[in-house]
Amino acid sequence: NSEDVRCKCICPPYKDHSGHIYNKNVSQKDCDCLHVVEPMPVPGPDVEAYCLRCECKYEERSSVTIKVSNVIL
């Protein structure tokens, strides 16, 4: 299920841009700032510096297990 995987990027404040959390359903190999952060909040010359500050993590979950657990509880 495509809803069971996502890439989450946490980007701290940078220059005059506030911090932001980005989520996107992408493959594990595409789990990086360049594929997840849209729209890019900084102009071209600052993209590399901005992305180096972001922490991106690939996350998987089982929605079936979550639903079963909720029924049991």
Residue with tokens 């360049």: 34
Q: Please list the residues that pair with 17 across neighbouring strands.
A: 14
Using a 10 angstrom Cβ sphere, with 0-12 exposed, 13-18 middle and 19 or more buried, the burial of residue 7 is buried
What are the boundaries of each domain within the chain? 5-60
Q: How far apart are CA 1 and CA 44, in angstroms?
A: 34
End-to-end CA distance of the chain: 24
- Identify the band that residue 60 occupies on the pLDDT scale cut at 50, 70 and 90: confident
Helices marked H in the chain: 33-36, 47-53, 63-72
Give residue 61's pLDDT band: very low, low, confident or very high (50, 70, 90): confident
Predicted local distance difference test score (pLDDT) of residue 2: 46
